[in-house]
Chain A
Amino acid sequence: MSVEANLDLGDVDEHELPAGSPHLVADLRDKLMATGRSWGVRVFAVLIGLGLWYWAARVHLDFYIRFDNVPSPVIVGEAFWRHLHETKFYIHILVSMRRILFGYILAAVVGIFLGLIMGRSRFARDFLTPYIELLRPIPAVAWIPLAILMWPTEESSIIYITFLGALFPIVLNTIHGVEQTPEVLVRAAQSLGARRVQIFWHVVIPAALPSIAAGLAIGMGVSWFSLLAGEIISGQYGIGYFTWNAYSLIIYPDIVVGMLMIGLLGTFCTYGVRLLTYPLLAWQRRAR
């Protein structure tokens, strides 16, 4: 083929393409400013929340909801500061993190596997759906007695409960993702000579990835959500146990410290999951 023809096409391409970014520095500056503004708003929102909380606790607000026994953010902050200097607090956190890690990784592996086969096989789907649908609405707390009876150790029953929490969102999102695989892409792969396994690997799984990633992020949140229920079983350690214990001993500031810690750790871990799945979805961000 001739070179002119190539150049010819090349010229048209430039018009077809979205405007390039010759102003790279300006773009970067705009981006940084947008990010900065965005974080500014977030911090501001948290400060407003803290301010309202402080005010409500200070004036012992009693307007349907009562704040007279709610510790103020200053007291909670002091308690938090105190715990930060105790080794035991870190043990609580580490023990919880380990449980989440085991339960969650297990849920990710099992959940993605079940979701993939349920999405592709009618039989697997019909067979497993009753279990998924029936077990899904059962709250983690309701599992405590059975978990204690079923599992050999305390630790394994707690991990089981965090596992269950993460499992369902991961399974359901994976199924959803697999179902969304565009038929035309499967057909294209077939006509290019791909076999079933190759289609699964190169088409079905990548097509489901955005949805699987969403399921993994939601699952991490629910996993922490279930942790407190799991750690009610525990006799010694865990941030859920810490919170539950504070409640039993009526140490109000510590209850809030435990709650906020669960929230923070959950957010932190969900962010970690998003960070890990981020590179897998590069193609989505680069679409026009």
Chain B
Amino acid sequence: MVAQVVKLEKPAHSTLPSPAPRVPPQKGHVLINRVAVIFGRGAGAHAAVEETSLDIAPGEFVCLLGPSGCGKSTLLNCVAGYVAPTRGSVTVDDVPVTKPGPDRGMVFQQYSLFPWKTVLDNVAFGPRVAGRHDGEAIARTFLDMVGLSRFAKRYPGELSGGMQQRVGIARALANYPSVLLMDEPFGALDAQTRVMMQENLLRIWSEFGITVLFVTHDIDEALFLADRVLVMSASPGRVIADLAVPLARPRSPEIATEDAFIRLKRQCLERIRVESMRAFDQMNQ
């Protein structure tokens, strides 16, 4: 399902650039079909992800929200191709996922840039291994997009955490993927930098119309970013709620103080609370 997005006029004071008129995206349809992931065998086996089916529309921004250990990263890794589902299948634009590939850009939590390559060479890596000769030009375009052109010749170790993550996003985008997979990419950043990164990401997303699957344990982050929030619960990992986030775009951080946002947040918290109470009761039986 696609969340109903109510389009409102952009507030005049907003510093965000106006998004280009959006053509409905054609690519990036992610279909998770009855996927289950079981780690271990025999008595030690446990279901990291219980049978889950999801249909993510092209261009949709979806957040997987849940506590650590709920299997949200495992589910993401199934889409990325790092984890093979025990049962079920994942397809992206009707192509079954069997291994990692450049059609699904991956942004990790931290320290995933190649420290021995300059920022420019990191971003140009994807196009270059694909045999393209314009890798540098592509890299410069994307560095410009994340506002780091001036740091092209620096090494990742010379950059702050926030800047490194922006390079990570540019690097993933340089392959022109149809889906962007993000595994708690802003989790290690300080609060101020995180807010800036979130706004940045929304701007990039609105320009690209790319499908984003974003893992987080932060409710505010999920509601601020997503069209749709999938709340997950642990042991076994499963989706317990599928919430549409019909907040107007473009969004600015002040949105967190609006009634609609707070109502959604309360809704999320309630689902999580009910679920954890149930799990708690089950454990004590």
Binding site for B on A (CB under 8 A): 1-2, 4-6, 8-10, 12-13, 16-18, 182, 184-185, 187-195, 198, 202-203, 206-207, 209, 282-284, 286-288
Output the least CB separation between B197 and chain A (Å): 10
> Which among A8, A191, A195 is the interface contact of B15 at CB below 8 angstroms?
A8
Residues in A whose Cβ lies below 8 Å from that of B82 = 187, 190
Nearest residue (CB) in A for B121 is: A202
CA–CA, A5 and B202, complex, Å: 13
Q: Once the chains bind, are A185 and B112 in contact (CB under 8 Å)?
A: yes
Q: Once the chains bind, are B116 and A287 in contact (CB under 8 Å)?
A: no
B111 within 8 A of partner (CB): yes
Residues in B whose Cβ lies below 8 Å from that of A203 = 114
Q: Once the chains bind, are A17 and B130 in contact (CB under 8 Å)?
A: no
Nearest residue (CB) in A for B160 is: A16
CA–CA, A8 and B172, complex, Å: 23
Residue pairs across A and B with CB atoms within 8 Å: the count is 118
Q: Mark B85-114, 1 if CB is under 8 A from A, else 0.
A: 000000000000001111011101001111
CA–CA, A283 and B163, complex, Å: 17
Binding site for A on B (CB under 8 A): 15-17, 80-82, 99-102, 104-106, 108, 111-117, 125-126, 129-130, 144-148, 150-151, 154-160, 162-163, 171-172, 175, 193, 196, 200, 203, 207
CA–CA, A286 and B117, complex, Å: 11
CA–CA, A288 and B161, complex, Å: 11
Nearest residue (CB) in B for A17 is: B160
Residues in B whose Cβ lies below 8 Å from that of A187 = 82, 100, 106, 108, 112
Q: Once the chains bind, are A286 and B17 in contact (CB under 8 Å)?
A: no
Output the least CB separation between B162 and chain A (Å): 6
Nearest residue (CB) in B for A5 is: B17
CA–CA, A209 and B116, complex, Å: 10
Q: Once the chains bind, are A206 and B114 in contact (CB under 8 Å)?
A: yes
Nearest residue (CB) in A for B196 is: A12
A–B pairs, 22, beta carbons within 8 Å: A5-B15, A6-B147, A9-B147, A13-B148, A185-B112, A188-B106, A188-B112, A190-B82, A190-B99, A190-B100, A191-B101, A191-B172, A192-B175, A193-B101, A198-B129, A202-B114, A206-B116, A207-B116, A283-B116, A286-B154, A287-B156, A287-B158
8 closest Cβ pairs, A-B complex: A287-B157, A9-B147, A193-B102, A16-B160, A2-B17, A191-B106, A190-B100, A192-B126
CA–CA, A13 and B146, complex, Å: 11
Given contacts A6-B147, A283-B157, A286-B155, contact A192 B112 (CB under 8 A): no
Output the least CB separation between B170 and chain A (Å): 12
CA–CA, A203 and B116, complex, Å: 9
Q: Once the chains bind, are B155 and A283 in contact (CB under 8 Å)?
A: yes
Nearest residue (CB) in A for B168 is: A188
CA–CA, A99 and B88, complex, Å: 63
Q: Once the chains bind, are B80 and A191 in contact (CB under 8 Å)?
A: yes
Residues in B whose Cβ lies below 8 Å from that of A189 = 114, 125, 129
Residues in B whose Cβ lies below 8 Å from that of A13 = 147-148, 150-151, 163
> Which among B145, B158, B196 is the interface contact of A286 at CB below 8 angstroms?
B158
